[in-house]
Amino acid sequence: PARDAWTEAYVDPTGAGWMVAYAAPVRAEKRLIGVVGAAVLLDFLTGFLRAFDYPGGRLWLVNDQLQVLAASDGRNLAGLDLLRLGDVLPEELRALEPAQLLAPSPTFRQLDEAHVLAQTVGTTPWTLLYVISPAELTALILPRLLPYGIILAALILTLLLTHAFRQRL
């Protein structure tokens, strides 16, 4: 190849499973002298995503062909076929255009009933897509705020009791 290239996902002919390949030209004095390449199993990518420590939502690694290369829940394969983005998205996001959904953003965007974060992955043609629903977000935040609410209520009650006591005196 004249430049770096990633393949779409394919089944390894030797039986290793689904994989993607990368090839990069090797040049000497601006002359192409060869190509170096590597193949990565999608099982490795899925294991990598599953190792992320996140308490809610779903995470997918998607290529330009909208193939789901890896999924945080391990669901990127359906039998012998690789799932596509539309197969794994929550119902409320399936009507959106993939270009809108996968547009990189520095912060979360609210699309329909979900919070979405999309980031490109280095120099690959892949996008890391994170989706969390409002219910999951509430379930994540509320327990962390509850102790502070209890402390605040106790402080207010203390102030009210102190005020009432001073009024009696």
pLDDT tens-digit map of 118-136: 999 988 999 999 999 888 8
Query: What is the pLDDT of the chain when averaged over all its residues?
Result: 89
Place of tokens 């809108």: 100
Residue type, 41: L
Copy the structure tokens of residue 142: 């509320």
Give the CB-side neighbour count of residue 40, counting CA atoms within 13 A: 15
- The pLDDT-based confidence of 1 (bands split at 50, 70, 90) is low
Tens digits of residue pLDDT in 4-56: 899 999 999 998 899 999 999 999 998 989 999 999 999 999 888 888 777 78
Q: Are strands 77-78 and 68-71 parallel, antiparallel or unpaired?
A: unpaired
The per-residue pLDDT for range 94-114, each reduced to its tens digit, is 888 888 899 998 999 988 888
Scored b (16 or more CB within 10 A) or e, 105-123 reads eeeeeeeeebbbbbeeeee
Q: Note if the pTM is more than 0.85.
A: no
Please tell me the predicted confidence (pLDDT) of residue 117: 92
Does pLDDT of 83 surpass 80? yes
HSE value, Cβ hemisphere, 13 Å, CA-based, for 42 = 29
